[in-house]
Amino acid sequence: MASLLFASMATSCCDGNANVENSDKNSVIETIMARRSIRKYKPGAVDRETMKKILECGINAPNGQNKQSWEVRVVDSPALMEEIKSIMAAAYPEEDPKRLTGCFRGAPVMTFIARDLSYDFSAYDCGLLAENMMLSATSLGVGSICLGSPVRFINDNPACAPILEKLGFSEGYELALCVGFGYADEAPDAKPRNWEKVKFVD
């Protein structure tokens, strides 16, 4: 499925003779337009074979000088996620526990993505990785959400160091973003996009 997705992307996005009038029938464009940020999930993790396909699409994202300047850790164990949340709650006793636990949006599978601090463009590489993962997830019927709040909570408090130790990122890497995956228990409408921010320059 992943190879078919990328073949379709290469054909549809790189073919200068593509018929723009028929672009709405293009499977890649349909996937992009169908993707939503999911904040309510059904119980049960996405199986690992499906996650491997999503991860394969992620690591095939464009990236500067093919440095692949990311590291990804996948947590699909409910017990481990509860342990992570407990560490965060202890690190932030003044915070509303619901806000802390809610920052993961209940996604059954959480991916933690770290950037290479020695490479200036690593954050962009990680963003492209995450986008590929979310789009491929949509094509496979899996919901997703990109999250920044957990990153702030974990990185900003030394008391959350045990979480980073468990994730085991290499030295010189820093947690940059999280992407949650699961089967959607909602079907949100698309939010409007502002075309005024896009201009052709002649």
Model confidence pLDDT, tens digit, residues 106-154: 999 999 999 999 999 999 999 999 999 999 999 999 999 999 999 999 9
- Predicted structure pTM score: 0.87
Hey, what CATH topology would domain 46-186 get?
A: NADH Oxidase (3.40.109)
The answer on pLDDT for 24 being more than 50 is yes
SS3 assignment for the chain? CHHHHHHHHHHHHHCCCCCHHHHHHCHHHHHHHHCCECCCECCCCCCHHHHHHHHHHHHCCCCHHHCCCEEEEEECCHHHHHHHHHHHHHHCCCCCHHHHHHCCCCCCEEEEEEEECCCCCHHHHHHHHHHHHHHHHHHCCCEEEEECHHHHHHHHCHHHHHHHHHHCCCCCEEEEEEEEEECECCCCCCCCCCHHHCCCCC
Q: Where are the domains positioned within the chain?
A: 46-186
